[in-house]
């Protein structure tokens, strides 16, 4: 595999750091401040997009920043997996930037400069994690994301916001220190390196001699990457719903949770590798943990009347589809897990955008209040329906492609119980989404409420419309994501 040395990965990371500085400098001029956010998001996406031809040609892009110790460095490497995640995150940040302007201005939110500044730094750290060439670099950016998103979660500065933000911070810092950091150190001790390598980095003799220790290390990673919200380390996520809706969209679709599952994908395929995991016999255990998370969080979602709370538990369930696919250790299963990173991102950000639009335009937060709302907000509820259908996995929606590959993966791995989990979870998805759509389109508005159309500001409606269209386009262009997944899974074992 040909390697290209380029400064582009560093530029992609730093462009929004520069924007964060400019946002602070222009704080007294909202138009300039928000232009910095939009401009940085657009430039970041274009820089990342410019690297796509090389990656699709089977090349990789690298940049070494600093070597700390032999085998320990801060280094960037752009491969197919990192490109898939980075393109998704950077494109959705462009739309989220516009959406945030409509949301924050309409509600006259306080501390908007801090909001946009933290948003920008978060996206820098997210791209840093996407392009990390080794576990040490990934760990650094993973921790930065936790710290810089706390002000976003606690943005409202109410007792409830501080409580939710505190739980968010301590869950993620606690798991990273108690589980993740020891796992990173033990990996370095046993492998002698933290550099990602397709197929894994542990020597065969270590695997045969230290099965018990490596099994412990593996599960330290699974629970240490708590941003993936695998049960029982999931409760921080619904608690973080006290944040403004653009932050919820960021948490659930673009940055935080996606960094969590992305890190697990990296760990499974580029630290341990399928052969090592088969030797340790931990794949099926992980699959059952993910299955438990999928089913239980879906059942809890059914009980929630608050729209954002239901979407939060839906996210917990959908994230574990990615973990489940990777744990299958079959080509189809891992393909389904990888492409679901993008498929879920587009539909879930659409759903949260819609929830925010409903709050801004109608001041409603509960599902029981949404009867007939499609008469007043047809664009918003049409987009919501598309996002929901994608979550269910209906044909002609991108989620169907993810679940198709996951189903094939369960058959390939000869675990039909996992196929049953996928079927049951899809039914549960329908049970907690379809009643919302039915009530919005077919029930009457509450007595005395005007049927006059009243959508959220256009700066909010346009982004949620585009993400809904993107969800549809992902189905018809699913071959692109599948090609990237194939590039990942066909990479030679010597990934360095």
Tokens encoding 340? 């679901």
Provide the pLDDT for residue 414.
86
CA-closest candidate to residue 90, choices 48, 35, 136, 134: 48
Locate all alpha helices (DSSP H) within 211-306, ordered by sequence: 211-224, 236-239, 245-249, 256-266, 274-280, 283-302
Cα→Cα distances 20→235, 249, 427, Å:
30, 20, 43
Residues 441 and 137: their CA atoms lie apart, in Å, by 48
Q: Where are the chain's structural domains?
A: 1-175+236-259, 282-491
Tokens encoding 148? 């810089």
Model confidence over 201-210: pLDDT tens digits? 888 778 778 8
8 A C-beta contact, residue 405 and residue 336: yes
Residues 434 and 19: their CA atoms lie apart, in Å, by 41
Give Rg (Cα) of the chain. Answer: 21
State the CB neighbour count (10 A cutoff) for residue 494.
9
Provide the pLDDT for residue 175.
92
Cα→Cα distances 401→258, 341, 385, 406, Å:
19, 12, 18, 9
Spans in the chain with pLDDT lower than 70:
1, 251-252, 491-496
8 A C-beta contact, residue 65 and residue 10: yes
Residues 49 and 145: their CA atoms lie apart, in Å, by 23
Residues 222 and 114: their CA atoms lie apart, in Å, by 32
Q: What is the 3-state secondary structure (H, E, C) of 151-164?
A: HHHCCCCCHHHHHH
pTM of the model: 0.92
Model confidence over 436-462: pLDDT tens digits? 999 999 998 888 787 788 888 999 999
Tokens encoding 377? 């907000």
Q: What is the overall mean pLDDT for the chain?
A: 90
Burial of 410 (0-12, 13-18, 19+ CB in 10 A): buried
Cα→Cα distances 272→49, 139, 203, 230, 495, Å:
29, 16, 10, 19, 13
């Amino acid at each position: 595999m040909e390697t290209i040395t380029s400064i582009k990965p560093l530029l992609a990371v730093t462009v929004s750091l520069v924007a964060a500085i400019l946002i602070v400098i222009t704080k007294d001029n909202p138009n300039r401040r928000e232009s910095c956010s939009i401009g940085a998001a657009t430039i970041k996406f274009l820089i990342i997009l410019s690297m796509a031809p090389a990656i699709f040609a089977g090349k990789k892009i690298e940049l070494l920043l600093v070597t700390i110790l032999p085998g320990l460095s801060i280094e960037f490497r752009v491969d197919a997996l990192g490109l898939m995640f980075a393109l998704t995150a950077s494109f959705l940040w462009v739309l989220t930037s516009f959406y945030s302007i409509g949301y924050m201005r309409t509600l006259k939110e306080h501390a908007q400069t801090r909001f946009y500044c933290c948003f920008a730094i978060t996206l820098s750290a997210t791209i840093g994690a996407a392009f990390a060439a080794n576990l040490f670099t990934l760990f650094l950016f993973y921790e930065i994301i936790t710290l810089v998103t706390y002000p976003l979660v606690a943005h409202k500065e109410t007792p409830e916001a501080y409580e939710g933000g505190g739980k968010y911070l301590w869950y993620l810092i606690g798991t990273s220190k108690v589980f993740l950091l020891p796992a990173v150190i033990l990996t370095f001790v046993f492998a002698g390196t933290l550099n990602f390598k397709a197929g894994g980095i542990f020597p065969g003799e270590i695997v045969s001699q230290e099965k018990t220790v490596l099994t412990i290390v593996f599960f330290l990673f699974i629970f240490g990457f708590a941003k993936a919200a695998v049960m029982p380390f999931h409760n921080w996520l619904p608690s973080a719903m006290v944040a403004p809706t653009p932050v919820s969209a960021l948490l659930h679709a673009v940055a935080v949770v996606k960094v969590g599952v992305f890190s697990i994908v990296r760990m499974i395929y580029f630290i341990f590798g399928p052969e090592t995991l088969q030797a340790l016999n931990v794949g099926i255990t992980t699959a059952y943990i993910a299955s438990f998370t999928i089913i239980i969080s879906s059942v809890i979602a059914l009980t929630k009347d608050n729209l954002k709370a239901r979407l939060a538990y839906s996210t917990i369930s959908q994230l574990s589809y990615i973990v489940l696919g990777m744990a299958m250790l079959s080509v189809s299963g891992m393909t389904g897990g990888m492409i679901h990173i993008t498929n879920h991102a587009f539909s879930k950000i659409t759903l949260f955008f819609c929830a925010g639009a409903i709050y801004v335009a109608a001041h409603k937060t509960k599902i029981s209040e949404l009867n007939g709302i499609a008469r007043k907000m047809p664009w918003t509820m049409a987009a919501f329906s598309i996002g929901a259908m994608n979550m269910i996995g209906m044909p002609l929606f991108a989620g169907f492609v993810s679940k198709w590959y996951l189903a094939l993966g369960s058959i390939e791995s000869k675990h039909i119980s996992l196929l049953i989990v996928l079927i049951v979870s899809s039914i549960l998805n329908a049970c907690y989404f379809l009643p919302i759509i039915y009530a919005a389109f077919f029930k009457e508005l509450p007595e005395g409420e005007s049927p006059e159309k009243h959508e959220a500001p256009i700066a909010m409606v346009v982004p949620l419309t585009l993400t809904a269209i993107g969800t549809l386009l992902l189905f018809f262009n699913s071959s692109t994501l599948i090609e990237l997944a194939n590039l990942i899974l066909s990479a030679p074992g010597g990934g360095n």
